[in-house]
Amino acid sequence: MWKRFSLRARIFLLLTALVCTTLLGALVTLWHTRAMDSLLTSLIDKNVASFQAAEQLETSLLQQKGYLTYYFLDGNPDWLKQMEQHQQAFGEWLQKARKSAYTEAMEGILRQIDTDYQAYIKSREQVINLYRQGEQEAGVKRHWEVRRQFVDLLNLCERYKLMHEYAISRARTESQTQARFINAFALAALPVVAILGMLLAYILIKQILGPIRSLTLETAPASREAPGPDEVKALSRRVHSLIENVDQAQSELERSQEHLLQSGKWAMVGKLAAGVAHSIRNPLTSVNMRLFSLKRSLAMSPSQKEDFEVISEEIRHLDAIVRNFLEFSRPPKLKMQRISPSDVVDAAVELLRYRLESYGVAVKLLRDTKLPEILADPDQLKEVLANLLVNAYEVMVSGGVITIREEQSLDPALGQTVIIRVSDTGPGISESVRDQLFQPFFSTKEEGTGLGLSIATRIIEDHGGRLDLEANEDEGATFVITLPLRED
């Protein structure tokens, strides 16, 4: 039954029960305090005042005792005067008692006292008259009657006083019953509140904090330490890092999607290029051979020789284009070995030294120590560097400086990497062509094939790395080769 409720409903129910019990407890305590207050007030206001009047009534009656006997003994009228004073006091207390009487029974008994007292006074006066007239015998006889009336009256006064004592003790019992009830209620409410609180705590820990903790642990990478005491904060940190991972994964996905698209395009173009290159290469080779034998057999004039050289140069250029196409369509398999990329940099610079000098381009090498060895194909890597260097000196028509900076770094996607940065002091690359730069057959040069950067990118990606263009529009271009520093 309990399990059928949702977590939210369970927490809500428990909280409601907890709040209701606590509120009920507070209300009962409030009610009890008020009840006690009114009980005490009534006890003080009514009972005590009324009880006092009852006591005084009895006392003033008792004070009237004996005077008649004293008068009988010595006939002194002062006794009668004193008795009258007490009689007056009795009358006043009777008035007060009537005012403070608060039940029917009390009023009834007071009426009775009043009637009997009047009768008693009458009888007493008769006795006084008899004593005054000297009828001692009849007086004494009547005196006995008066004594009996006095005792009856005293009993009535005593009853009246007892009535108050009874009312006070009843009020006390009532307050004790209430106190007992409050105690019992508090005793019953305490375990209920404790159980409800524990249940709530159990649900919070087991069904909210527990899952949050395990979720945090599950989402945490294995290498990270356990979450701290604040589960919600830890979870929010994890969720943040997950969102970051998702963002990273998304951009990687976009990259690979683009790469895939590119590969498709490449495959098509590659087939076409391979076909064309093949068809051109054979006639080109035969033209080249014929030219060579003609050069040897013919005696040429200087201008003919010059024409001959131009033709040979153009054929070499054509051959280079065809070679590029063939390489692009059928990339050679990587021959991996452990090498330091610094050696490859040196080899590439050495290979192009003559041409760099003829273009008036200086090479500045920024290297602290040689880069550590990585698994790579030195020839392919040299081709990439040569491509970048050729592109650089080709854009610096009136000379300049190529800076090669070697570094090691920690890449978020590749881990430990080696970085080779090739910068030139050429015109730079405008924002508008940046996106097309790495696409095959994109070239701004009159005689360019637009394959150099595509081939370089593919070689670097085959090595598990990246070829990027750093953003600097006016101050030359910087190409960055990033290669993973893997153990295997």
Q: Return the residue of 322, 449, 458, 459 that touches ligand ADP, per CB under 6 A.
A: 449
Q: What is the 3-state secondary structure (H, E, C) of 25-37?
A: HHHHHHHHHHHHH
Cα–Cα distances in Å, from 458 out to 432, 448, 481? 23, 18, 12
Q: Show contacts with ligand ADP in window 300-319 (CB under 6 A).
A: none
Supply the minimum distance, in Å, between the C-beta of residue 221 and ligand ADP.
Answer: 39
Q: Return the residue of 452, 458, 463, 467 that touches ligand ADP, per CB under 6 A.
A: 452
Supply the minimum distance, in Å, between the C-beta of residue 346 and ligand ADP.
Answer: 20
DSSP 329: H
CB distance 277 to 325 below 8 Å = yes
Q: Return the residue of 111, 265, 330, 445 that touches ligand ADP, per CB under 6 A.
A: 445
* Cβ within 8 Å of residue 196, ≥6 positions away: 14, 17, 18, 21
DSSP 335: -
Closer of 228 and 399 to ligand ADP (Cβ): 399
Dist. CA 112–CA 104, nearest whole Å: 12
Supply the minimum distance, in Å, between the C-beta of residue 472 and ligand ADP.
Answer: 11
Tell me the number of residues near ligand ADP by CB under 6 A: 20
Determine, following the binding rule CB under 6 A, whether residue 448 of this chain makes contact with ligand ADP.
yes
Determine, following the binding rule CB under 6 A, whether residue 468 of this chain makes contact with ligand ADP.
no
Supply the minimum distance, in Å, between the C-beta of residue 441 and ligand ADP.
Answer: 8
Burial readout 193-214 (b: 16 or more C-beta within 10 A, e: otherwise): eeebeebbeeeeeeeeeeebbe
Closer of 375 and 469 to ligand ADP (Cβ): 469
Q: Show contacts with ligand ADP in window 369-428 (CB under 6 A).
A: 387, 391-392, 395, 424, 426
Stretch that binds ligand ADP, among 141-149, 375-383, 408-416, 435-443 (CB under 6 A): 435-443
* Cβ within 8 Å of residue 352, ≥6 positions away: 386, 389, 390, 393
User: In the chain, helix, strand, coil percent, each to 5?
Assistant: 70, 10, 20
Supply the minimum distance, in Å, between the C-beta of residue 339 and ligand ADP.
Answer: 24
Determine, following the binding rule CB under 6 A, whether residue 355 of this chain makes contact with ligand ADP.
no
Closer of 34 and 323 to ligand ADP (Cβ): 323
Q: Return the residue of 437, 467, 480, 485 that touches ligand ADP, per CB under 6 A.
A: 437
DSSP 412: T
Classified as helix, coil or strand, 473 is: coil
Supply the minimum distance, in Å, between the C-beta of residue 457 and ligand ADP.
Answer: 9
Cβ count within 10 A of residue 314: 11
Q: Return the residue of 63, 175, 262, 443 that touches ligand ADP, per CB under 6 A.
A: 443
CB distance 161 to 58 below 8 Å = yes
Comparing CA positions, the residue from 166, 160, 140, 43 lying closest to residue 90 is 160
Amino acid at 289: M
Burial readout 402-418 (b: 16 or more C-beta within 10 A, e: otherwise): bbbebeeeeeeebeebb
Closer of 21 and 324 to ligand ADP (Cβ): 324
Supply the minimum distance, in Å, between the C-beta of residue 372 and ligand ADP.
Answer: 27
Report the residue number whose CB is nearest to ligand ADP: 452
Determine, following the binding rule CB under 6 A, whether residue 50 of this chain makes contact with ligand ADP.
no
Q: Show contacts with ligand ADP in window 211-250 (CB under 6 A).
A: none
Supply the minimum distance, in Å, between the C-beta of residue 432 and ligand ADP.
Answer: 11
Biggest distance spanned by C-alpha atoms of the chain: 202
Closer of 211 and 448 to ligand ADP (Cβ): 448
Supply the minimum distance, in Å, between the C-beta of residue 324 and ligand ADP.
Answer: 8
Supply the minimum distance, in Å, between the C-beta of residue 433 and ligand ADP.
Answer: 6
Q: What is the 3-state secondary structure (H, E, C) of 200-217?
A: HHHHHHHHHHHHHHHHHH
Residue ranges in contact with ligand ADP by CB under 6 A: 387, 391-392, 395, 424, 426, 429, 437, 442-445, 448-454, 477
